Amino acid sequence: MKNNMNWNFDNSYSRLSDAFKEHIEPIAVKNPELVLMNEDLVTELNLDFSKINKNELAALFTGNILPKGSNSIAQAYAGHQFGHFTMLGDGRAVLIGEHLTKNNKRYDIQFKGSGKTAFSRNGDGRAALGPMLREYIISEAMHHLNIPSTRSLAVAKTGEEIMRETPLQGAILTRVASSHIRVGTFQYVAARNKKDELEILLNYVIKRHYPELINSKNKALDLLNVLIDKQIDLVVNWMRVGFIHGVMNTDNMTISGETIDYGPCAFMDTYDPKTVFSSIDKVGRYAYCNQPAITKWNLSRFAECLIPLIDENEDKAIKSATELIETFGKKYEEKWLKMMRKKLGLLGEDNKDKFLIVDLLTWMHQNKVDYTNTFCHLMNIKIEKDGNYKDSNFQQWKKRWQERLEINENSPEKNMKLMRSVNPLVIPRNHKIEEALEAAEKDNFKSVNQLNEILKKPYSQQKNILKYQISSNLNENYQTFCGT
């Protein structure tokens, strides 16, 4: 296809060892139809589709035609899924290439749902419309919540049915990521027991994501250290907005520190640390409150891959890696406290802050109140009936909070500004997502588009958003599925 869309591909990953991927093109689909296009992201990527007609666009975003300069591959990776190690890979996705923006920022462009690959195992390589729209909505919402995330450029229907429990409409999501390299990518290469391949991957990752480490004396150890910080920042952000990823397998943890793979994820309404939405997570391995511990567990699996590169002497390497992993707890606690202080508008530090924070969370849990809306209440934003907040325990807590707000040269303006910068007024509520997806199934994309618009400004007071703010009544029995 003629390149008059400003695509600027430079496919560095596909030039690495053949061991890391399979060359494969998307499998053509019957009747492509573009249903969502992220115009803001098109602009951010310096792309231009203005001269392309509708049919060509649909063909482009289903992979029926590939842009000039692309070179599509399925990436190999492994992963611990619910604790069990498996060889995996892109079983229903292809990376069509890496696009460079005018500022030389590099983005992976991936089609998810594009057909079978060498890694499909028993799957059909396809994806259904609902889960692809869900990923679009939530990944974009995360981005606008200022949380690192893969982005969504487009969703196109394939015009083919796919068989799940019932027949569903097939669709392809165009995913944009700073890369798709995962902890699982390192696990895959490490399992092949070839140190030179591991070194290639390490150097590639450093050059692409952490160039500040190029001259490091111990690149592997320093990368581990950086990733510990990155992943703590990420999970603290998830905890901040009540996001539950749902399937924190090591293949779903990126080396870039972006949130990836929006399968059974969902936002918590009523505050309960044990909240789990995923239908397959029977024991709550990936429950809200377990996310930090799982992050540490996944980082330990990452550290194991790096052992041969940390030190020739294995015992020494293990000791150094373990020491770093053991910094996780203290670092997490500090970053979490800092984040929670902001949620409460607390400037500076006071040694009783942790009690103040934990007491509020305990009250929220005991009284089954909405997590997001409680912080809105503290910011004087009225959403639901105030009944819960008349509770005397809450009023006593509020008095302590107000006393604390007055120390450390605070001012009501400063407190409020801080709170407004971290407490969203609107999140992708489960009932709003379900409602939008149901309409989209019947070819009505109005609700999906409206929801996406509202979620672009989660920290702003927008007109007529009350219905997007009220707690889901689906909460107690709400279940999500892997979207496969």
Active site residues: 251
Assigned token pair, 208: 């692409």
Any idea what DSSP says for residue 216?
Answer: -
Backbone angles phi, psi at 49, to 5 degrees: -105, 15
> Is 236 in contact with 291 (CB distance < 8 Å)?
no
Q: Among 301, 271, 307, which residue's Cα sits nearest to residue 289?
A: 271
Select the residue interacting with ligand AMP from 83, 123, 284, 348 (CB under 6 A): 123
Cβ 252 to Mg ion shortest distance, Å: 5
Q: Helix crossing, 291-310 with 314-325: angle to 10°? A: 150
Q: Any contact of residue 258 with Mg ion (CB under 5 A)? A: no
Which H helix or E strand runs over 84? strand 84-87
Assigned token pair, 164: 């799940």
Of 23-31, 122-130, 172-180, 410-418, the window that binds ligand AMP (rule: CB under 6 A) is 122-130
Cβ 175 to Mg ion shortest distance, Å: 11
Q: Any contact of residue 252 with Mg ion (CB under 5 A)? A: yes
In angstroms, the Cα distances linking 229 to 187, 225, 325, 329 are 20, 7, 11, 11
Any idea what DSSP says for residue 278?
Answer: B
Q: Any contact of residue 479 with ligand AMP (CB under 6 A)? A: no
CA–chain centroid gap for 97, Å, is: 21
| Minimum CB distance to ligand AMP smaller for 252 or for 423 | 252
Backbone angles phi, psi at 112, to 5 degrees: -105, 120
* Cα 149 to Cα 241: distance, rounded to the nearest angstrom: 14
User: What does 89 bind: Mg ion, ligand AMP, none (CB cut-off 5 to 8 Å by kind)?
Assistant: ligand AMP
> Is 56 in contact with 65 (CB distance < 8 Å)?
yes
> Is 60 in contact with 39 (CB distance < 8 Å)?
no
Q: Any contact of residue 263 with ligand AMP (CB under 6 A)? A: yes
| Minimum CB distance to ligand AMP smaller for 89 or for 428 | 89
Measured from each CB, the residue nearest to ligand AMP is 123
Q: Any contact of residue 33 with Mg ion (CB under 5 A)? A: no
Cβ 286 to Mg ion shortest distance, Å: 13
User: What does 33 bind: Mg ion, ligand AMP, none (CB cut-off 5 to 8 Å by kind)?
Assistant: none
What is the three-state SS of 433-468? HHHHHHHHHCCCCHHHHHHHHHCCCCCCCCCCCHHH
329 CB-near residues (< 8 Å, 6+ apart): 296
Segment 259 to 298, residues that bind Mg ion, using CB under 5 A: 261
Q: Any contact of residue 108 with ligand AMP (CB under 6 A)? A: no
Q: Any contact of residue 87 with ligand AMP (CB under 6 A)? A: no
| Minimum CB distance to ligand AMP smaller for 263 or for 424 | 263
Of 117-125, 185-193, 327-335, 425-433, the window that binds ligand AMP (rule: CB under 6 A) is 117-125
Of 83-91, 270-278, 285-293, 449-457, the window that binds ligand AMP (rule: CB under 6 A) is 83-91
Q: Any contact of residue 11 with Mg ion (CB under 5 A)? A: no
User: What does 151 bind: ligand AMP, Mg ion, none (CB cut-off 5 to 8 Å by kind)?
Assistant: none
Three-state secondary-structure class, residue 477:
helix
Of 51-59, 245-253, 361-369, 474-482, the window that binds Mg ion (rule: CB under 5 A) is 245-253
* Cα 51 to Cα 21: distance, rounded to the nearest angstrom: 34
Select the residue interacting with ligand AMP from 21, 80, 99, 126 (CB under 6 A): 126
Cβ 291 to ligand AMP shortest distance, Å: 16
Backbone angles phi, psi at 402, to 5 degrees: -65, -35
* Cα 265 to Cα 277: distance, rounded to the nearest angstrom: 7
Cβ 124 to ligand AMP shortest distance, Å: 5
Q: Is the dihedral of CA 61, 65, 69, 72 positive or negative?
A: positive
Cβ 409 to Mg ion shortest distance, Å: 47
User: What does 71 bind: ligand AMP, Mg ion, none (CB cut-off 5 to 8 Å by kind)?
Assistant: none
Select the residue interacting with ligand AMP from 71, 120, 367, 447 (CB under 6 A): 120
Point out which residues bind Mg ion (CB under 5 A): 252, 261
Point out which residues bind ligand AMP (CB under 6 A): 88-92, 119-120, 123-126, 247, 252, 261, 263, 482, 484
